[in-house]
Amino acid sequence: MQFEILIPRADLERRARELATAIAPPADGAPPVVVAVLEGARPFADLLCRHLPGRPSWQGIRASSYGDGTVSRGAVAVQGEEQLEVRGRTVLLVEDIVDTGRTVQRIRESLFARGAVAVQVATLLSKPARRVVPVVLEHVGFEVPDAFVIGFGMDAAGCYRDLPYVAIHPTEGGSRSA
Ligand code: IMP
């Protein structure tokens, strides 16, 4: 199937390098704890960490929001947070795409509840037209229109994550699991 390419691979790489340069190291000089929301943020987290000072490794958590098809309905379930050691640390939360903002809000609150001193969000994509929760996003790769996108980690019903670019899915299929 041919897709309309929204962001080619070269642009994704260039932007990840720019973001990595713009992400200031925590004030205490320690590297941030990098937490990626799986599965979608895996390729972006890999790319970003490759360009961050000290090439930090990242840890993954899983998030899914309940809804039907492509429509997120609110409650966000998160798995794997209990394994994160964030007390007293600055966390860099890496997302593939921020849509309603509920996932970022839910995870940010829980990181603070677990003792993180600061949380910064780096998201590859943001869809501002769909925002429900007014989340602050410190680092945004690209703003995208209100269309269902796939590729570079993002899926439609489990497919297309391995496309090397971001494309628009023609029929807006897919689930909203991260
Ligand atoms: P939220 O609505 O901001 O909580 O986003 C929840 C999750 O939905 C994101 O982390 C993505 O994994 C997924 N998502 C939202 N929009 C898209 C899209 O256009 N394509 C693929 N996944 C999406």
CATH label of the domain that carries residue 121? 3.40.50.2020
CA of 27 to the centre of ligand 1 (A): 31
Into how many domains does the chain fold? 1
> What's this model's pTM, rounded to 2 decimal places?
0.92
| DSSP-assigned beta bridge partners for residue 142 | 125
Does 151 reside within a domain?
Answer: no
| Residue 99 annotated in active site | yes
Task: Supply 78's token pair.
Answer: 């998160």
Domain that holds residue 125: 8-23+30-67+76-146
Give residue 178's pLDDT.
Answer: 56
- Which ligand 1 atom is at minimum distance from the Cα of 156? 21
**What is the rounded CA–CA span in Å between residue 14 and residue 6?**
15
Per-residue pLDDT of the chain (178 residues; tens, 9 = 90+): 778 899 999 999 999 999 999 998 777 778 899 999 999 999 999 999 999 988 999 999 999 876 555 555 678 999 999 999 999 999 999 999 999 999 999 999 999 999 999 999 999 999 999 999 999 999 999 999 999 999 999 999 999 999 999 999 987 644 455 5
Does 93 reside within a domain?
Answer: yes
Does 170 reside within a domain?
Answer: no
Nearest CA to ligand 1 atom 14: 176
Does 3 reside within a domain?
Answer: no
Does 167 reside within a domain?
Answer: no
Only one residue has tokens 């680092």, namely: 139
Give residue 22's pLDDT.
Answer: 94
Q: Which residues line ligand 1 (CB under 6 A)?
A: 37, 40, 65, 72, 95-103, 148-149, 154, 176, 178
Does 160 reside within a domain?
Answer: no
Catalytic residue chosen out of the listed positions 11, 46, 99, 146? 99
Does 45 reside within a domain?
Answer: yes
**What is the rounded CA–CA span in Å between residue 126 and residue 143?**
5
Does 174 reside within a domain?
Answer: no
